[in-house]
Amino acid sequence: MSLSNSPFANRLNTNYVPSDSEILEIRSLLVDPTEEIARIDAQIAEMELALVQLKEKRGLLQKPIDAHKALISPMRLIPQDILLEIFCSCLPREHNALIDPNEAPLLLGRISRHWRDVAYSSPMLWSSMHIPSPDLRRMPPNILLELERIVEAWLERSATCPLSISLVDHTDYLDSDIKKHPLMLQLLAVSQRLRHLTLSGDAVTIGPFLQLGPEELPQLKSSRIRYLSSYSDFPSILQIPTLEDVALCTVGSTDPLSLSLPWSRLTRLRLECYSHWTEQGPDGGLNLDGALDILRKCPNLEHCEIRVTRYSEHSGLTRSPPSIIMPQLHTLSITGWEFQLQKWISELVAPNLRSLRIGEDFVPPPPPSSCGRFTVDIDLNRFTSAGLHDLLQSFPMTSHFRVFSSRVAPPDPTLTTTTLDEEFIALFCTPHNLCAMLTDIHFESPSAGFSDKAALAFIKARMAMPIPLRRFRAQFLRPMELDIISELQSYISDGLQVFLDYPPPLHRFNAEGGLHVPGSLAMF
């Protein structure tokens, strides 16, 4: 009997309680359908068994088919020179190649014998290498020996190619015996081929490299060095005339102005040199005046990051400071301890500048854009209101503006820095109209000190300008006062992006409050 005509159809899915006689009737109604389900289950089991058997049969056929198709794979027909181009594209772009069997180039030798032959016979694939930090005191000898073997084989495969090598050593001070650092011995043996070198470690550990000169490093173009202890001799490696890219980070007595760098040849420069305290006071480091002197020495710089690590002995500059002429400069970052880092802006002549960062901020500068983008990142604690106004007037082409506060107090308490208030954002609206090309503005932490109503008026004013905003973001340390998103829907539908960050409510109801605290009700 079909249950579609069940006399209990109107009772289904209700709270109805059947009588004893109705229970017997329902059980009789279920006999035939239950038997039918059993038959269907049996058929399903048969079909599933047949499906398993068919899949096994298919697998036995597919395996030789795949093997034959592999013989005619288009990858086998690729000429070796094109295959090599593909291999080169697999190498990392942001850093040197890793000693990792799951990364190129080591991975390429694990696919097939042919690929291994091509990879191992192509020196350019092995022309870069990052050597992981070896803890010579704790690393098991067998692992260190294996690392030495890999580095040796890697360097052999590179043949005569120029090399890009990075080594970061975190081992504590050993002694001046270079034999205790076998990896350094291997790198010293190929110093003639080094083009890009990155070293970080104790000055004694990497000291043999610091004292190499032009004869030992005839091809060196890029040098990135970080050493963490006092080093009395100036690194000879920084005097090599072929250098074009230098990054130097030191904790010691190094005075960057005393280095015999090929300043006029440099296209990239990064300096972060901290002073060393002595009985006579700080020794080494770099103040703002010194940083500006370095800029004047480097007319061909394209990318520059300098950290000021000492306060200047006097405030302000000389009466008639020479201009800082840098026609190729596209990225400039001046960070550090000095207050009012903007004082030198009026002397800067950099027609190709596309990224400017001033203040205490650890966000890396963005890459230069080829689409006319001009990015300015400003720490308000480095500017007075008048100084910031002057800077914004100096860069009317600013399209992306990020303003933040590092909370670093100025050494002179009489100086008043700029705050993110309504007076500040009014600078960007009529009648001032600063940064008329502005499309992206970000008011970052610790907080924006203007109201939601002022933010709404600011956005509407900028949207009415010939070049409207495309993105607005602000971070507040107060609750929302006004929902401005609803007021901006017409602009948002046209592409405007608005991000407003408010703190969560200070007080939230907690249903489990006190329940798990020792001595609470949960313990009774």
E strands, 284-413, in order: 303-308, 324-325, 331-336, 348-349, 355-358, 375-379, 400-404
Closest to 125 (Cα-Cα) out of 116, 133, 134: 116
146, 144, 153: which is closest to 106 by C-alpha? 153
Helix axis angle for 113-120 and 80-89, nearest 10°, is 80
- From the number of C-beta atoms within 10 Å of its C-beta (0-12, 13-18, 19+), residue 338 rates as buried
Residue 233 tokens read as 């001799």
Interval 263-302: pLDDT, tens: 999 999 999 888 776 666 666 788 888 889 999 999 999 9
Write the DSSP symbol of residue 441. E
Task: Using the predicted structure, report yes or no on whether residue 44 has a pLDDT greater than 70.
Answer: yes
What global pTM score does this model have? Answer: 0.77
Supply the pLDDT for residue 416. Answer: 63
Give the tens place of pLDDT for each residue, 450-471.
899 999 999 999 999 999 999 9
Residue 310 CB neighbours (<10 A): 20
Lowest-pLDDT choice from 88-92, 136-140, 160-164, 208-212: 136-140
What pLDDT is stored for residue 316 in this prediction?
47
Residue 317's pLDDT is: 47
Residue-level pLDDT at 488: 94
Question: What's the CA gap between 441 and 463, in Å, rounded?
Answer: 13
Taking the C-alpha atoms of residue 112 and residue 95, their distance in angstroms, rounded to an integer, is 26
Q: Please tell me the predicted confidence (pLDDT) of residue 176.
A: 47
What are the tokens at 399? 């399209």
Identify the pLDDT of residue 410: 55
Q: What tokens appear for 502 in the block?
A: 């408010």
CA angle (508, 509, 512) in 5-degree steps: 125
**Does residue 151 contact residue 186 with C-beta atoms inside 8 Å?**
yes
- Which of 26-35, 183-192, 400-409 bottoms out in mean pLDDT, i.e. has the lowest? 400-409
How much is the mean pLDDT over the chain? Answer: 84
The predicted model gives 514-524 an average pLDDT of 58
d(CA 326, CA 278): 36
Query: CA 497, 367, 224, 259 torsion: positive or negative?
Result: negative
pLDDT tens figures, 49-81: 999 999 999 999 999 998 888 888 888 888 999
Per residue, the 3-state secondary structure of 117-134, as one string, reads: HHHHCCHHHHCEEEECCC
**CA–CA separation, 429 vs 435, rounded Å?**
9
* 369: exposed, middle or buried (Cβ count in 10 Å: 0-12, 13-18, 19+): middle
**Locate tokens 């350019």: which residue?**
124
| Per-residue model confidence as pLDDT tens digits over 293-350 | 999 999 999 999 999 888 776 544 445 678 899 999 999 998 886 655 566 777 889 9
Is the CA virtual torsion 264, 239, 193, 98 positive or negative?
Answer: negative
Query: Could you tell me if 470 and 440 are in contact, meaning their C-beta atoms sit under 8 angstroms apart?
Result: yes
pLDDT digits (tens, 9 = 90+) for 402-443: 988 776 655 555 556 677 888 888 888 888 888 999 999 998
Q: What percent of the chain has pLDDT over 70?
A: 82
